[in-house]
Amino acid sequence: MTRRATGTVYDIDGVALHLREDGPADAPAVLLVHGFVGSLHSYDRLVPLLADRFRVLRPDLRGHGCTGGHTGLDARSQAQTLAGALKLAHAEQLTAVGHSFGADVVLALAAESGTVARTVLIGQAPDYTHATFPPGNGLLARATVGRLLQRVATFAPLGSALRRTPLRQAHADFSATSPAMAAAVLTERRALLATTPLDAQVAALGLPTLALLGRRDRLYNHTTSATRYRTAGAEVHFLDAGHTPFVEKPSEVAELITDFADET
């Protein structure tokens, strides 16, 4: 198998979706979908642990990273755009991994297309019932606040200072995220999940599903999430991590994804 690392831009109905590929071109495919205010670089620590065994695909979602844009930010629209890019990339029978809001996108992708064989949901509760968000987070959903914060984030001296710190990628991802994403995730998504939570989507799809939950996740209650996902038929694993276990425990996450993707 020939190993490669490439980045391709796919024009899907006028949206220039950026998709990065690593690993052997003829290996089983694993799709890694980032969350809110992330990018394909969210998985930089995980990819090297998977790329020897899998064809690893990472998109920048609409409203994020090099894809950008300010429309079509909900999970279903994201999934439709991503499905078009995956079709052009000839990626089928995926193990689709989604973190946080990316979990919504992965399940929507599975419902919208026939490309997904199994799903992995990381750090995401079925809905916002037991969510604990930082005080004032709702202000981010206001367009004026979002635009102001982005102007501050893109202030050149601040960017220059942060480029020399571990926060450089988080700053770059935030700066590239559309201010409209906050309303899509914090307001519109709350209403959508109240109607059709992720555990109900898992049960309806009937695909093999693995939920990876951090015991120290400060946003979502891992025990109630686990109970609901198991009831829906998913396999659940806890990790001694917070909301982003693939950053804190990349080796453990890579092993769990590999074992799950290899199941027949």
Rounded CA-CA distance 121/37 in Å is: 17
Closest CA relative to residue 21, chosen from 75, 94, 71: 94
Domain coverage including residue 42:
3-132+193-261
Place of tokens 């973190």: 99
Question: Looking at the domain assignment, is residue 164 inside a domain?
Answer: no
Q: What is the DSSP letter of 131?
A: B
Question: Looking at the domain assignment, is residue 15 inside a domain?
Answer: yes
| Cα angle value 128/81/88 (rounded, 5°) | 140
Q: Considering Cα of 238, then 241, then 244, then 248, what sign does the dihedral take?
A: negative
Question: Looking at the domain assignment, is residue 40 inside a domain?
Answer: yes
Question: Looking at the domain assignment, is residue 152 inside a domain?
Answer: no
Question: Looking at the domain assignment, is residue 41 inside a domain?
Answer: yes
Rounded CA-CA distance 220/130 in Å is: 6
For the chain, how many structural domains are there in total? Answer: 1
pLDDT at 165: 60
Question: Looking at the domain assignment, is residue 206 inside a domain?
Answer: yes
Q: Is the pLDDT of residue 23 over 50?
A: yes
Name the residue with higher pLDDT: 57 or 152.
57
Question: Looking at the domain assignment, is residue 13 inside a domain?
Answer: yes
Q: What pTM was estimated for this model as a whole?
A: 0.91
Segment among 73-82, 158-167, 243-252 with least mean pLDDT:
158-167
Question: Looking at the domain assignment, is residue 154 inside a domain?
Answer: no
59 touches 67 (CB < 8 A): yes
pLDDT at 161: 53
pLDDT at 186: 87
* CATH number of the domain encompassing residue 51: 3.40.50.1820
Q: What is the DSSP letter of 217?
A: -
Q: Is 27 exposed, middle or buried (0-12, 13-18, 19+ CB in 10 A)?
A: middle
pLDDT at 6: 76
Q: Is the pLDDT of residue 264 over 70?
A: no
Q: Is the pLDDT of residue 144 over 80?
A: no
* 15-24 and 3-12 strand pairing: antiparallel
Closest CA relative to residue 144, chosen from 188, 187, 182, 186: 182
pLDDT at 49: 98
Q: What is the pLDDT of residues 186-238, one digit of tens each?
A: 889 999 999 999 999 999 999 999 999 999 999 999 999 999 999 999 999 99
